[in-house]
């Protein structure tokens, strides 16, 4: 798993297998969670469509407030997240960013 950013008690990440998918997305992991859809993943959020910014929730176990918080953070840090995703998929080591 490529951890990109930490926001409060959430980790925004990508999985190397996601590199072949035709739409870029981020998995949201709740730190310390044991109940989830895929491992500790509690949401999957599309961040683009055809190379253009388009943030949409694919599925989620989050509250509406949590979804809003995460979508706003993704929107604000969209360019940086895409650079980090490129680096993860290229096999480069990245520094996980903490955001507030």
Answer for the pair 68, 49: CB distance below 8 angstroms, yes or no: no
Name the average pLDDT for the chain: 88
* Tens digits of residue pLDDT in 36-61: 445 578 999 999 999 899 999 999 99
Confidence check: pLDDT of 71 > 70 = yes
pLDDT at 42: 92
Q: Can you name the residues that pair with 3 across neighbouring β-strands?
A: 13
Work out the pLDDT band at 1, boundaries 50, 70, 90: low
Confidence check: pLDDT of 100 > 80 = no
pLDDT at 37: 45
Q: How far is the C-alpha of 43 from the C-alpha of 50, rounded, in Å?
A: 21
Q: Taking Cα atoms as reference points, which of 66, 84, 76 lies closest to residue 26?
A: 84
């Amino acid at each position: 798993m490529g951890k990109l950013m930490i926001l409060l008690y959430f980790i925004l990440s990508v999985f190397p297998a996601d590199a072949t998918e035709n739409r870029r997305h981020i998995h949201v992991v709740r730190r310390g969670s044991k109940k989830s859809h895929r491992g500790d993943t509690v949401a999957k959020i599309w961040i683009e469509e055809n190379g253009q910014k388009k943030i949409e929730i694919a599925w989620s176990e989050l509250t509406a407030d949590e979804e809003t918080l995460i979508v706003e953070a993704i929107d604000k840090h969209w360019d940086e997240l895409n650079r980090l995703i490129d680096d993860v998929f290229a096999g480069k080591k990245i520094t996980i960013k903490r955001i507030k």
